[in-house]
Each structure stands twice: as structure tokens, then as C-alpha cells.
Structure 1
Amino acid sequence: MNFSSVTIDQLNAASTPNLNAANFGVVKMSHDGKVTDYNDNQEQHTGMSKGAVMGKHFFTQVAPCTNNFMVAQKFENENSLDTKIPYTFTLKMAPTPVTLRLLKDNQNQYLLCDW
């Protein structure tokens, strides 16, 4: 998988081991924002274990620094989404600039993180 070219169909079809093999962070969420998968890369960079985030609301319980118009609101406002944005994570780490890719379809939504 490549951060810039992976499609939402490929992400939807990927198993957890496939997501773990990605060299970028992957947070898979239901449409209500609950984390349904969280790959090893994301876990390694954030220091937040998969067990600590699974089933929790990503924007309010896992990464409240993303609960804003740039990230959470885009997921809420759009029926389908595939966009990249520069971002800075600040929760539980020093300010860390990243590129986020936000993807959403009628099945799932994904936050990809290129560290």
C-alpha cells in the first residue's frame, strides 16, 4: 500500500495484517467515529496501543486534537471524501507535523497518517 495512491476500496478489502504492513498510519472508523482498526504504524508513532483505542470515538476520546473543522467536520459534512491536508498532532507528543489523508465512503472512513 502506498499513502498517496491507496484507494478506499483497497482499504475496505484489506485485512488487519495488510493494514499493519503499511508504512503509514491507518485509523479505520465506523461512520459514528468509533475506531474499528488501528494499525501498528499508528500505534508506534502515537504511543497509543490498539487495545486502548479500539471501539472508542476517535475525535473525542482518542485524538481530540482532530475534533475540529479541518478533520472531524470534513468527515461529518461529506458523504464521500478523499483529501490530503497538512496537519500537526499535539496530543501525547511534541507537536508533530504530518500529512493526513481523509477517506470516506458508504462503508467506512479512514484517517491515514504519513509521518
Structure 2
Amino acid sequence: MPQITVDYSADLADDFDRPGFAKALHEATVEIAAARPPACKTRFRRTEDIVVGPETGGHSHVHVHFALLPGRTEETKARLTEATLELLRTHVKAAEGRALHASAEVRELDASYRKFES
């Protein structure tokens, strides 16, 4: 915990500093949501196809999903998503003429969540 998943448009592959973003995001998550540094895990999923509204081109997209153990306040969750959007502004550059759509959400892990480390 936390489990962080970042979906991003394929056209951003060369213009998204994913390692830098993950490092900064982990630091923010530790500071804002009281996570332990070694517990922060981020995976990136490249999305080949994106359609925004009626258009099939001219748009790039990044969405960050956080899954945290229960207990954070709504204020903490909002601070984390705002910090995430700010970090995206500094780590992602959409190509000239493309609109960048960035979003983030925090949800709580279900009571069934289990993990192991070996």
C-alpha cells in the first residue's frame, strides 16, 4: 500500500518523465497520506487508443489511480490528488497542438485486500 496505477496515452511515451514522476509522487504520498516509503508502488500502463468526445485525435490523457488502506480523511485524499495534478504538470509535456487531459482519484482498498512480501 499504496497501490498507484498510471494510465497514459501512447503519444506521451517520450514526453512523460515516468521515473521522475513516480519518485516525486512517492515523496508526496509519504508526506500527505502518511505512507511508508518502501510501501509505495507505482505501475504505468500505456494506452494505445484514446477518444475524447467526438474526436479521435489531438488529445493526450493521463489518469492516476490511488488505492489506499482505509482511514484517510477526504481532505487528505483531495490534497493528494491536487499534488498529483501539480506533479503531472511538471513531468508531462503534450506534443504541440495536443490537449492534455490529466486526472487523479483516490479510493480505499476493500477489506479483502491482502498482500505478501518475500
In terms of Rg, which structure is larger? Answer: 2
Fold shared by both chains (TM-score > 0.5): no
Question: Structure 1-normalised TM-score?
Answer: 0.28
Question: Structure 2-normalised TM-score?
Answer: 0.27
